[in-house]
Amino acid sequence: MPNQRGRLQVQKTYKLFIGGKFVRGENGRVLPALDRQRNVLANFCRASKKDFRDAVGAARKAFGGWSKTSAYLRGQILYRAAEMLEMRRGELQDEVSRTNGSARSTSSSEVTLAVDRLVHYAGWTDKFSQIFGSVNPVASSHFNFTTPEPTGVVVVVCPDEPPLLAFVSLVAPAILSGNTVVVLPSTTKPLPALTFSEIIATSDLPGGVVNVLAGDRAELAPHFATHMDVNAIVDASGDAKIGLELAKGGELNVKRYVRRELSPNDWRGREAENPYWILDTVEMKTAWHPIGL
């Protein structure tokens, strides 16, 4: 619509974030992002099955390097991402506020919690292995160690509320151990998560570690469930029908299925910064070493 000066407003089109690059959906589909009054805020690309396959490929390609990165360096990289969010918090506040139709104070609170949540999980990168791993007593002359290792490519399905805080709270515990992720943010409010991807694109996070799609859960869920190169699914959609479909998909290649059932207010509390969430996307590996060698 023309503004008061007769100039046609240029609507931004948010792209998908795959392999560290911003790409349009392969089928050219674009959807409007609406506020609570059904006003068009912007446009965003709607991901297809092929976009998802491309995202899984990018995540798998990045997994080798990211999983071998030292725990200390992963923590520094996540902390740098938090710094980037902090530096552009005004942009994120505006995005959350116009998406939710909420007061700026409310959106400011969500952005603050999102930054703090990322810092919280960044601090766990070089600690979870010591806390959750163990040295096991054995009857032979061996050392026996159990240590957590990343499981691989993880699909994360986010709830609609809160759009930014839930996104960060789900992604951070998955990638800090060395996993790479393909994330489907809120179906109805994707803009804060897509803005997040624009911010972390300029951070030190390697391309392909976090891949952000956008689109309809019901359309993409069958592809999430049946893809043979997905190792785990973290489902916070809150949709029982979609959850059942995702869980059944684990029968094909024994992919792990984890459900997160939190209310919008719960995402603001301690439950959503639970370090035991890290264990949901790692594998416990045991090694034997002869004593004296």
- What mean pLDDT comes out for the span 74-78? 96
Residue 1 pLDDT > 60:
no
- What mean pLDDT comes out for the span 87-98? 86
**Residue % of the chain over a pLDDT of 90:** 63
- What mean pLDDT comes out for the span 93-119? 84
Task: Quote the tokens at residue 252.
Answer: 């094909």
Q: Which residue has the tokens 């035991």?
A: 276
Residues in the chain: 293
Q: For domain 13-290, give the fold.
A: Aldehyde Dehydrogenase; Chain A, domain 1 (3.40.605)
Instruction: State the chain's mean pLDDT as an integer.
Output: 89
Question: How high is the pLDDT of residue 104?
Answer: 65
d(CA 189, CA 186): 5
Q: Give the residues across from 183 on adjacent strands.
A: 156, 212
Q: Which of 55-59, 145-149, 221-225 bottoms out in mean pLDDT, i.e. has the lowest?
A: 145-149
CA pseudo-torsion sign 232, 176, 47, 163: positive
DSSP 8-state secondary structure symbol assigned to residue 277: G
The pLDDT-based confidence of 42 (bands split at 50, 70, 90) is confident
Q: What is the pLDDT of residues 225-265, one digit of tens each?
A: 999 999 999 999 989 999 999 998 877 788 999 999 999 99
The pLDDT-based confidence of 272 (bands split at 50, 70, 90) is very high
- CA proximity to 278, closest of 71, 124, 164: 124
- What mean pLDDT comes out for the span 111-121? 95
Residue 134 pLDDT > 80:
no
Say if pTM beats, i.e. exceeds, 0.75: yes
DSSP 8-state secondary structure symbol assigned to residue 8: B
- 237 by Cβ neighbours in 10 Å (0-12 / 13-18 / 19+) ranks as buried
- CA proximity to 88, closest of 189, 212, 199, 171: 199
Q: In this structure, are residues 88 and 196 in contact, taking their beta carbons and an 8 Å threshold?
A: no
Q: What is the pLDDT of residues 192-224, one digit of tens each?
A: 999 999 988 988 999 999 999 999 999 999 999
Question: How high is the pLDDT of residue 3?
Answer: 56
The pLDDT-based confidence of 288 (bands split at 50, 70, 90) is confident
Q: In this structure, are residues 147 and 284 in contact, taking their beta carbons and an 8 Å threshold?
A: yes
Residue 4 pLDDT > 70:
no
- 53 by Cβ neighbours in 10 Å (0-12 / 13-18 / 19+) ranks as middle
The pLDDT-based confidence of 102 (bands split at 50, 70, 90) is low
